[in-house]
Copies of this chain bind each other. A is one copy, B any other.
Amino acid sequence: MSIQELYDQVLEMYREKTVLNQVAGLVGWDYETMMPNKAVEQRGGMMAFLSKLEHQMSTDPKLGELLDSIEGSDDYSGLSDIERRNILLVRRTYDKSTKIPVELVVERSKLSATAIDVWQKAKENNDWKLFEPYLEKMVALMKKTAHHLDAEKDPYNVLLDFFEPGMDMDQYDTLFAELRDGTIDLINKINNSSVEVNRDLISKKVSTPIQEKLMDELISVIGYDMNGGRLDVAAHPFTGGPGYDDVRITTRYDEYDFASSFFSVAHEGGHGIYEQFVSPDYRYQPIGEACSMGMHESQSRFFENIICRSPGFWKFFFPKFKESTAGIYDDLDFDKFLRAINVVRSSKIRVEADEVTYNLHIILRYEIERDLINDRIKVSEIPEVWNRMTKEYLGIDIESDSEGALQDIHWCDGAFGYFPTYSLGNIYGAQFLNTLEKEMPDWEDKVKNGDIKSIRLWLNEKVHHEGNLYDPADLVEKIAGEKPNVKYLLNYLNNKYSSLYKL
């Protein structure tokens, strides 16, 4: 068989797995949005069936043989760059799927189900000790998993690379040290500012139907395509569905906090736009997927924070907002409003944190994860370390682990290495902003005039269209001219908040 025929077979197998993933994506979306409550167990059976199929396809020995034949072929270099990238990406997934023994996969999935259950109870009862043995098992299991993936490498580096290809502790340590120090400096300045912010100004009741109309306007302004998507309600906002021509976003409505749904739609809209605008030419190929978790987060946060919390955006949207809310906010002052949606205030809970303090929550988790996987701290020591670091970084006292080390679900599933990608997204995003400023110097004027489309098209071209052609750091370098660099994020934050808080 010619190398082209081998390649076509690999792509055909990938295409079929993509269609299966579309089905699983829809079943998962429905689970979170539409499913009647009686169907939980039955849906579990449907999802397990699809997972089994996915595992069979991902570990099909025929795929391994095809990859071996292609990589070992004398004609390998005859493949195009794109073809070689596709083969590399299939190889990565194949290795990840086959190197981890099935027993370990099953064990993790079982442990994870139990751990989530126990974690919920532990969180309710502020009982870290209850959760401890399960987390200990999960740490051991993930170390074992990392060992199977690459016995030569530091296990946490293996996990970091799993979530963000190409990233390791050295890079994160450097980036996060600078980000931490710069952020703490900025927070100190803000705390000393004489500007007072009243968050209550924006907590007047806005009924769900009115909020829904606001969301329609927001969606149309940022350019998420409703012809290839939907907006529904879910307990925890997410972006999902089959993908490509059917990317679905979700939110939830709090009638006394319209900002919560507004910025969650901007955030999920950013994720959705990324998925909708990967080049159609790359569909059903590995390069047709988004680049990485961090890159995805860069897009959601670009829309949520850099665009939709900016003064320029509200120059345009504030009158619309006042009109839509039917008189409720007629007296609201523009500057006070802008500060209310951009208030910086250290808090205990990551998911409620603002754009500035958020990264400290992430860095804290990163440092704990890193030391945990590297045996520098024990699971039993986490609450103490957590509370000490929260005090040190955020100046906050944690009185109950429910609001501290027990607040997040991620570790129940063994997702060590996931948290840092959130801040990476902020870092990438600021670098893109810096490039945008150079390439489209009037971008802020455009935003002021409601022309978000120009910026969306720019992101489409630079980030979204590219799909998974490059590893994240390479894509950042291609767009911004240098590898991930915290400087731009700190500049952006310092500029924005110096102005808001008159620093």
A interface, CB within 8 angstroms of B:
16, 19-20, 22-23, 26-27, 30, 34-39, 41-43, 45-46, 49-50, 225-230, 242, 244-246
Shortest A40–chain B CB gap in Å is 8
Instruction: Compute how far the CA of A226 lies from the CA of B19 in the bound complex, rounded to whole angstroms.
Output: 31
* Partner of A23 from B16, B27, B37, B246 at Cβ < 8 Å: B27
A38 to B228, CA, bound (A): 5
Report which of B39, B226, B228, B246 forms a contact with A246, defined as CB distance below 8 A. Answer: B39
**Complex: how many Å from CA A371 to CA B22?**
45
Give Cα distance in the complex from A225 to B39, angstroms.
12
Quote the shortest CB–CB distance from A67 to chain B (angstroms).
23
**A26 to B226 CA separation, bound complex (whole angstroms):** 21
Are A22's CB and B46's CB within 8 A? yes
What are 8 pairs between A and B in contact, CB < 8 Å?
A23-B23, A23-B27, A23-B46, A34-B230, A36-B230, A36-B246, A39-B244, A42-B246
Closest chain-B Cβ to A285's Cβ sits at a distance in Å of 15
Closest chain B residue to A227, Cβ basis: B38
A204 to B35, CA, bound (A): 35
Residues A46 and B34 in contact, CB atoms below 8 Å apart: no
**6 nearest A-B residue pairs (beta carbon):** A39-B246, A38-B228, A39-B245, A38-B245, A38-B227, A19-B49
Q: Are B42 and A242 closer than 8 Å at their CB atoms?
A: yes
For A38, the chain B residues whose CB sits under 8 A away are 225, 227-228, 245-246
Nearest opposing residue in chain B for A15, CB measure: B45
Residues in B whose Cβ lies below 8 Å from that of A246: 35-36, 38-39, 42-43
- Closest CB in chain B relative to A48 CB, distance in Å: 8
Measured in the bound complex, the distance between the Cα atoms of B45 and A49 in whole Å is 19
Which of B19, B42, B245 is the one whose CB lies under 8 Å from A245? B42
What chain B residues lie within 8 Å of A228 (beta carbons)?
36, 38-39
Please determine whether A41 and B245 come into contact, CB atoms closer than 8 angstroms.
yes
How far apart are the CA atoms of A30 and B242 in the complex, in Å?
11
Interchain nearest-CB distance for A57 vs B (Å): 11
Q: Which residues of B contact A20 (CB under 8 A)?
A: 49
Query: Closest CB-CB distance, A228 to chain B, in whole Å?
Result: 4
Q: Which of A16, A20, A22, A26 has its CB near the most chain B CB atoms (within 10 A)?
A: A26
Contact with A39, one of B16, B43, B46, B242 (Cβ below 8 angstroms) = B242
Query: Within the assembled complex, what's the spacing in Å between the Cα atoms of A22 and B43?
Result: 9
Give Cα A36 to B41, complex, Å.
Answer: 28
Beyond the given A38-B227, A39-B242, please list 4 additional residue pairs across the A-B interface where CB-CB is below 8 A. A16-B49, A23-B23, A34-B230, A38-B228
Note all chain B residues with C-beta closer than 8 A to A22: 42, 45-46
Q: What is the CA–CA distance of A244 and B44 in the complex, to the nearest angstrom? A: 14
Name the B residues within 8 Å of A30 (CB-CB): 26, 30
Minimum CB–CB distance for A249 against chain B, Å: 11
Q: Give Cα A20–Cα B35 distance, bound, in whole angstroms.
A: 17
> Cα distance A19–B45 when bound, in Å?
7
A223 CB, nearest partner CB in chain B, Å:
14
Chain B residue numbers with a CB within 8 Å of A43 are 242, 246
Chain B contacts for A46, CB-based, 8 A:
19, 22-23, 26, 242
> How far, in whole Å, are A170 and B23 apart by their CA atoms in the complex?
45
What's the Cα separation between A242 and B229 when bound, in Å? 22
Complex alpha-carbon distance, A158 and B228, angstroms: 43
Q: Which of A39, A229, A230 has the most CB of B within 10 A?
A: A39
Residues of B contacting A49 in the complex (Cβ-Cβ under 8 angstroms)? 16, 19-20, 23
Q: In the complex, what's the smallest C-beta–C-beta distance from A377 to chain B, in angstroms?
A: 43
| Chain B residues closer than 8 Å to A226, beta-carbon distance | 36
Q: Complex formed: what's the CA distance from A42 to B21 in Å?
A: 12
From B16, B35, B39, B245, contact of A36 by CB (8 A): B245
Residues of the B chain whose Cβ atoms lie less than 8 Å from the Cβ of A41 = 245
Is there contact, CB below 8 Å, between B34 and A34? Answer: yes
Q: Could you tell me the distance between the alpha carbons of A23 and B39 in the complex, rounded to whole angstroms? A: 13
Contact across chains for B244 and A36 when beta carbons are under 8 A apart: no
A229 touches B27 (CB 8 A): no
Give the docked Cα–Cα distance between A244 and B20 (Å).
23
Q: How far is the CA of A34 from the CA of B240 in the complex (A)?
A: 14
Please give me the residue from chain B that is nearest to A39 by CB atom. B246
Of the candidates B26, B35, B37, B42, the one whose C-beta lies within 8 Å of that of A27 is B26
Asked if B36 and A229 sit within 8 Å, CB to CB, the answer is yes
